[in-house]
Amino acid sequence: MRLALQEAARAEKVADVPVGAIVLGPGGDVLGRGHNQREAAADPTAHAEIVALRAAAWRLGRWRLDGCTLVVTLEPCTMCAGAIVLARLDRLVYGAVDPKSGAVGSLWDVVRDRRLNHRPEVIAGVLADECGQVLRTFFSGRRG
């Protein structure tokens, strides 16, 4: 999660919401890194998770990321939760809960939906206070 927090700091430097993500391979090696790049790329799909998943898939040369773990500072949205399922990730680890658009238990629970063909293990709340504080600081600075 500390590596994901470092990625989140990179997003904040380019005035995007500070969310960071890391994809770890089965042996714990970093296969992909990402931070929100929606503003810089003018791309609504450039969420940290999507950027990290794309980097890992490119590095492995395949779209199936079985055996891999995604670590992200904020509970994924519906788009990212769907991508996690489609990528066949073994595990999702996230920090702060997103009560406004979270799709891993807050508003929806896409990754645990029994109607889908894949359900990764979910580990929630890792460094949740620290991950949440990064976001609260960012948004309070934008408001005031």
Checking if the pLDDT of 94 tops 90, the result is: yes
In a domain, 142, yes or no: no
Task: Please say whether the dihedral angle defined by the alpha carbons of residues 16, 18, 23 and 28, taken in this order, is positive or negative.
Answer: positive
Q: Which residues are known catalytic residues?
A: 49
Is 47 annotated for ligand binding? yes
Residue 104 pairs in a beta bridge with 109
In a domain, 59, yes or no: yes
The whole domain housing 131 covers 1-135
Q: Which residues contact 69 (CB under 8 A, 6 or more apart)?
A: 23, 24, 89, 90, 91, 92, 93
pLDDT of residue 142: 77
In a domain, 127, yes or no: yes
pLDDT in tens, 25-78: 999 999 999 999 999 999 999 999 999 999 999 999 999 999 999 999 999 999
Is 80 annotated for ligand binding? yes
- What is the domain-level CATH number for residue 48? 3.40.140.10
Token pair recorded at residue 46? 């450039």
In a domain, 141, yes or no: no
